[in-house]
Structure 1
């Protein structure tokens, strides 16, 4: 181990205890974590270390350092991506053979590769939500000048985000960071994404993991359309008469509804001042998440934040406190509604979902059973029903997230609701 070298911004001596003298494919089962893996051109393994799960990828030294640096840059730009831990070089086998370097990243808790998503939820709407999440990720990457060069479902992890998914970049091996991308670079990245996704879905169809109603080519086309809509909304130039200045605020509000804040806006007029043009210059994702963090301290996904903010608004109206300071009301909601609801879930079951996702699903469940009972079911009764009829039969998404392809989830007394919730989540009605 004399030649072994670990380069890391967050050094952890426990990394030295891993069997670096063995090729990754030969690592013993007792050091591995049984997590679902996506398809990769390299050998990838998960290990548990100091209470965390790390992903280790065997790769050439040059590419390992390049990808490590790229992931660090993306994290600084607040792009959803895996956190790089370090690069291990100087590996020698017991026979003196040089082994490839290893890139170490932290496994994204509560995340799934796309194949595991499809192994659980085969509804048509699942593909649409995955594509929406990937389109948002691609737009965010292109806005900061990142050319991916290998866009695919395989190079992405997905986390629940209320009734949607959030996409995270996993593989930055072919990525390039520029000051700004040309239209040609963006279109090439998008065309590559379309081609890869169609191929991946066809592979799922061949393995009978895809709903017969899903058209693989249509899904690939949907990514292009969704990307185009979002890109135009975030960057397009809008012209209007000088007497319609309210449209500036309307444009900002529309971008907020999409989950983006406007950091800089370009406003210009023609020579006689009768026409005004506006174009967002700097947009930052996470509008709802930042607002919720500010008033409650909860750090969650953006759609989860939107759902929690809606519930907070309902609480404010129900308690007739619309004129009170928002932050004070938010703290009361946190202490009297959100936290007691989460604490009412048995401790051993809480780890199955993130707290914000758990709360979102409890709200959905409340809507569902209230519809059945034709009455407004109180929260304590809702939590008890959700725990007994839904949560107990869910896979543990923190420990081993998802099932092996083809493996079926346990069917509980409310299996119909489980499938209903995945296919058609309730609206924000509490």
Structure 2
């Protein structure tokens, strides 16, 4: 049986990997020792030229279906790992068939939840981890994706301005439709509650964390936060015909949550007005930052950077100037010089936007202790010298 690779872009180096051996037997020469989450399949991270790829062994039909699903999610700009290909037709040295392999890009600066806990996650930060999963689940549901196996294990987490951003890493049980029913959404939430409770209890029992986590409170929060966010994004709202300003207020609330409203359904009856968001798209702050500066960041990070840009604008008296011109000045005078202070050997362990956010947080702490505003460049030098060397990496 001939080796067959299905991929959007085929790298010839892929064919030099030892596909004739089970993935579990690949030597350290090929495997990169990056942290991996729990999986029912054998998974390894390998380096192909300069690209890190996650390789998962599974059945051929399942691998091809998941590859197609991940490509669809990529086209919809959903937070999921990027698929790179499927390898089929594998045979061992004795001619025995071997499982197919699904290849996805390793998500930079991301960690599985167990490693997040091992890297000093505090008990008060656990709700932020669950909130990240809630936002991911709501985004997927808005796009018509039924996950089928919601869990911490099936996601990867990036630090994002003091919180987390979650990415889907396993779509094996998923379905993509034009829309999904309320019953399917509730099934995802219920499965998530059961899985996450079991994962948190297993985490404590295994000794992988020394913090005390209230599993019941956490999963209650997941369901409560999911329904609150879903209602804010989709529920209809009625108000008087003289209260049109409430349309702007509703859009502003959605923007604050990081969502854009592309379409509203507005109906007027007698002296009442009814509005309902029809098309809601995540990434409001991320898109705004990218359009102004070209920087790519998580949405929470982008919001903090936009806040700093706004403060720079106000302090410099630039309110009447072109916003893009002011953004270029902020990039040249503030953001870039501070990012340049990040030691080269640390740039693989923390993303530039997260580092800039943490410098801002450090500046506020220094200013509070000093009783006056500390220069941000001095704060960055102090952060690099005294805080960064002791900070757990976001990736290993």
Q: Same fold per TM (> 0.5)?
A: yes
1:384 aligned to which of 366, 373, 381: 381
Unaligned runs of 5+ in 2: none
The equivalences for 1:186-197 within 5 A come to: 186-197=185-196
The equivalences for 1:9-408 within 5 A come to: 9-210=8-209, 212-270=211-269, 273-398=270-395, 400=396
The aligned counterpart of 1:410 is none
Residue 388 of structure 1: how far off its partner (Å): 1.3
Count of paired positions: 396
Change beyond 3 A, Cα 1:27–1:71: same
CA offsets 1:383-413 (integer angstroms, 9 cap, x no match): 2211111112234435x1xxxxxxxxxxxxx
Residue 231 of structure 1: how far off its partner (Å): 0.1
1:264, 1:217 → 2: CA distance? 38
Residue 325 of structure 1: how far off its partner (Å): 1.2
Asked if the contact 1:122/1:209 (under 8 Å) is kept, the reply is no
Residue 322 of structure 1: how far off its partner (Å): 1.1
SS where residue 187 of structure 1 aligns?
A: helix
- RMSD, aligned CA: 1.2
Asked if the contact 2:159/2:394 (under 8 Å) is kept, the reply is no
After TM superposition, the score normalised by the length of structure 2 is 0.98
1:344, 1:104 → 2: CA distance? 35
1:395, 1:18 → 2: CA distance? 32
SS where residue 273 of structure 2 aligns?
A: strand
Deviates more, 1:113-122 or 1:102-111: 113-122
Q: Which has the higher contact order (CA 8 A, sep 6+)?
A: 1
SS where residue 292 of structure 1 aligns?
A: helix
2:394, 2:233 → 1: CA distance? 33
Residue 264 of structure 1: how far off its partner (Å): 0.5
2:387, 2:43 → 1: CA distance? 33
Residue 211 of structure 1: how far off its partner (Å): 5.1
SS where residue 250 of structure 1 aligns?
A: helix
The aligned counterpart of 1:413 is none
1:347, 1:83 → 2: CA distance? 26
1:300, 1:282 → 2: CA distance? 23
Asked if the contact 1:122/1:211 (under 8 Å) is kept, the reply is no
1:22, 1:126 → 2: CA distance? 42
Deviates more, 1:212-221 or 1:308-317: 212-221
After TM superposition, the score normalised by the length of structure 1 is 0.90
CA offsets 1:16-73 (integer angstroms, 9 cap, x no match): 1100010000001111100111100000001111111100000000000000000000
1:363, 1:48 → 2: CA distance? 34
2:341, 2:202 → 1: CA distance? 43
Deviates more, 1:77-86 or 1:340-349: 340-349
2:115, 2:273 → 1: CA distance? 49
Residue 379 of structure 1: how far off its partner (Å): 2.3
Asked if the contact 2:81/2:105 (under 8 Å) is kept, the reply is yes
CA offsets 1:253-277 (integer angstroms, 9 cap, x no match): 110011000011000122xx21110
2:373, 2:243 → 1: CA distance? 44
